Each structure stands twice: as C-alpha cells, then as structure tokens.
Structure 1
Amino acid sequence: MTTRSFVPDEFTVPESLSGDGFRLEPLGPQHNEADHRAWMSSIEHIRATPGFAERGWPPADGMTRLANLLDLERHARDFQARRGFTYTVLGNGDEVVGCVYIYPSRTDAEVAEVRSWVRADRTELDGPLHTAVADWLASDWPFKEVRYLSRS
C-alpha cells in the first residue's frame, strides 16, 4: 500500500453516508465488539461476496477480538493518513451490519478499489448499499476510476 495520500490534500473526506436502512461512519476501535460479532456470524457469506473470495478474508477460522481490534486500528490509521477509507455500515442504532473498504488498487494507485459486505442476515441491504456507495463515489469523491464489483 502506498504511503502517500490516496486523495488530494484539498479534498474533504466524507464522514458519513446515509441510505434506506443504513448509514456509514468511519470504522474505528470503538466498533470492535460489534464489528467482530457481525463478520464472525457471516464468514461464509462474506467470502462468497464479490471482491472477497480472492482475498482470503475473513479468515475461515475467524480471529480473536484482539486481532480484530488491531485490524480496526490499522484501518483508522489509514483513514487518518488518507491512504484508504474504511466505513462501518450501521443499521438501526449502532448495530454493525457490514463494512465498506475504499483503497487504491494494488496494481494502479490511481484506481480506487471498493469492496463491501453485509451480514448474512441482512442480505437485503447488499444491493441498496452497493448502489448508494457507487453513486456516492461517482458524485462526491475525486476518483477517475472506481472498481467495485457489481451485485447480480
């Protein structure tokens, strides 16, 4: 991953996005318990979601809450340094129902690669989340190219 900013210095990174039945906010350590519970309950479903099968995440055997916390801290540092942007997807209240990752492509730092997942028991949000995020990236972000695998 690049150490330089992924977006121009003058760009104000959005802090949230709201859609029908969900809202996004930057993922951080404060989400550890709910985030861990969300993805641990949906490992097979997430691994079958476009963009995740080839990445080997989440680990088939899961991970500890401490390992998850360290991962969330890394995502928060990336967000702060503008190297990549991870948002938690919240349903009602503070219920974590998924995640959105916006990072530079591993092969072309000028391209944004986006992945998202929702819990297995909230699959009805997958299509609306994908549509809302794709529209948001096109209208509010400075990327010239976005790769975000479609939902069929």
Structure 2
Amino acid sequence: MGRSFIPDEFVVPTIYKTENFTIRKLTVLDLQKDYIAVMEARDHIHELYTKEYTNGWPADNLTLEEDENDLKRHEKEFNERVAFAYTVFDIQNENCLGCIYIDPSDCYDAEITMWTRDHVTDMLLYKTVKKWIENHWPFKNTYYPILGELYDK
C-alpha cells in the first residue's frame, strides 16, 4: 500500500448522518446488504462508469465471496489510511443504498466516486457528499468523475 494522502493528525470520520443517509465506514460486516445493493445496482454502475474505469466491476456473476474479498480490501485500506470506502444506508439503517470511495489522485487532493441504486439517489448523495467533503475533510481540490460533470451544471 502507498502512503496516506491525508495529514497524520486528521481524524477520519467513521460515520456521518444526515436527514437522508447514514454514511459509515464499509466493513465486512456489511457483506449481505452490500452484496444485494451491488447486484441490484450493477447495470446502473455500468451506465455511470466505463468498464475501463471499474475494471468491469461488478461482474454479472459476482459471487458473495468475491464481494467479501472486496470489503476486506476496502476495510484494510481504510485502516491503513490509504483509501476510504463508506457504505450508504437509509436513515433507518436498514437498506444499503450504495457506496462512496475516497481515493488518492495524481492530479487532485482526492478522487471521490460513488454509486447508488438509481439516478435520483445519485444526485442527492452527490450533493450530500460534496458538502461533507468541503466541511469535514482536509481537501481543497477534489475530483468527482462522472457525477461532478452530471450534477455541477
């Protein structure tokens, strides 16, 4: 793994609640609900992001075990402070609506991607995350591939 792209003294949030979402650190404990959300959002994710960008993820035949391995990797990256993956749940904390990924970038302070199950939720989550990042993270120059171009008009 690479070096952290956030200051050592920065306390990385593990949870962020809004009137619409509960955003919290993605862990392997989220496997069952994450897998359901990923498989339901599969076509939508492929509409948003190119196959090259996602490496073809999620595959039509993604297994629970493969998703578990992804969650373990994301949790390890978070703990090592080299990338940050969050799960997005409804406010009742019952249904996984999507995920947010905060990653290092060669050209920006951070590159932030996200997906949800539908376009309406995408827009609401994008606006929520953008405000969260601006107000609670140490980044000045962020990049939101795809969603930034769609919703910053």
* TM-score, length-scaled by structure 2: 0.86
Q: How does 1:2-17 map to 2 (within 5 A)?
A: 3-17=2-16
Q: Secondary structure at 1:41's aligned position in 2?
A: helix
* CA drift at 1:143: 1.4
In structure 2, distance between residues paired with 1:116 and 1:46: 9
In structure 1, distance between residues paired with 2:54 and 2:64: 20
* CA drift at 1:34: 0.6
- Contact 1:88-1:98 at 8 Å conserved across structures: yes
Q: How does 1:1-152 map to 2 (within 5 A)?
A: 3-49=2-48, 52-53=49-50, 54-91=53-90, 92-105=92-105, 107-108=106-107, 111-120=109-118, 123-149=119-145, 150=148, 151-152=150-151
In structure 2, distance between residues paired with 1:98 and 1:41: 10
- Contact 2:101-2:114 at 8 Å conserved across structures: yes
Q: CA RMSD in A?
A: 1.6
Between 12-21 and 38-47, report the one with greater CA deviation.
12-21
- Contact 2:5-2:109 at 8 Å conserved across structures: no
In structure 2, distance between residues paired with 1:56 and 1:43: 13
- Contact 1:78-1:85 at 8 Å conserved across structures: yes
Higher relative contact order (CA closer than 8 Å, sequence separation 6+) = 1
Q: Which amino acid aligns with 1:99?
A: C
- Name structure 1 gaps, 5 residues minimum: none
Q: Which amino acid aligns with 2:41?
A: S
In structure 1, distance between residues paired with 2:56 and 2:74: 15
Q: Which amino acid aligns with 1:148?
A: Y
Q: Which amino acid aligns with 1:147?
A: Y
In structure 2, distance between residues paired with 1:130 and 1:56: 22
Cα distance per residue 1:69-119 (max 9 Å; x no partner): 0110110011101001000000132311100000002x34x5200001101
- Contact 1:47-1:56 at 8 Å conserved across structures: no
Higher helix share: 2
In structure 2, relative to structure 1, the CA distance for the partners of 1:21 and 1:144 (3 Å cut) is closer
- Name structure 2 gaps, 5 residues minimum: none
Q: Which amino acid aligns with 2:84?
A: F
* CA drift at 1:57: 4.2
Q: Which amino acid aligns with 1:3?
A: G
Q: How many residues align?
A: 145
